[in-house]
Amino acid sequence: MTQDPWSRPTIDDLRRVLESIGKPNTSNNRANERLELSVPAEIKTSRGNTISSMTREISRTGIGLLHRGAVSPGEVVVRMASETREFQYNVQIEWCSPCDNGMFMSGGRFLTNAIEA
């Protein structure tokens, strides 16, 4: 049985990709500290498509995602849920690059505050 090309990456998929790219030997020159975060998420594009994804990292100003299939730069809605709440973020996807196993990493900045659903 073939795997759905748009299905959500698993934690193992995320771990393999992160191990393959390794940790940078340079210091992080970003204004905001990034925290590793691996939770299921959904990306809803401006065309109405929903793409299952996993978060890679998050900061006060942006988010990194891992998913199957490319996402075009532009405004999207990212949904994440905890055990007790669901959050929705308006995000400007600024880049999307292919990585191992037919997956893509993308990153974007938050456009507005989270909306608790």
pLDDT of residue 36: 79
pLDDT of residue 1: 41
Question: CA of 19: how far to CAs of 7, 14, 82, in Å?
Answer: 21, 9, 26
Name the domain count of the chain. 1
Determine, yes or no, domain membership for 56.
yes
Q: What is the pTM of this model?
A: 0.72
Determine, yes or no, domain membership for 12.
no
Determine, yes or no, domain membership for 63.
yes
Question: CA of 68: how far to CAs of 5, 31, 32, 97, 108, in Å?
Answer: 6, 29, 27, 11, 17
CATH number assigned to the domain comprising residue 94? 2.40.10.220
Kindly list the averaged pLDDT for each block of 10 residues, start to end, along the chain of length 117: 57 67 52 75 92 90 92 94 85 94 92 62
Residue 61: both structure tokens together:
């100003």
Task: For residue 69, give its domain range.
Answer: 36-116
Determine, yes or no, domain membership for 45.
yes
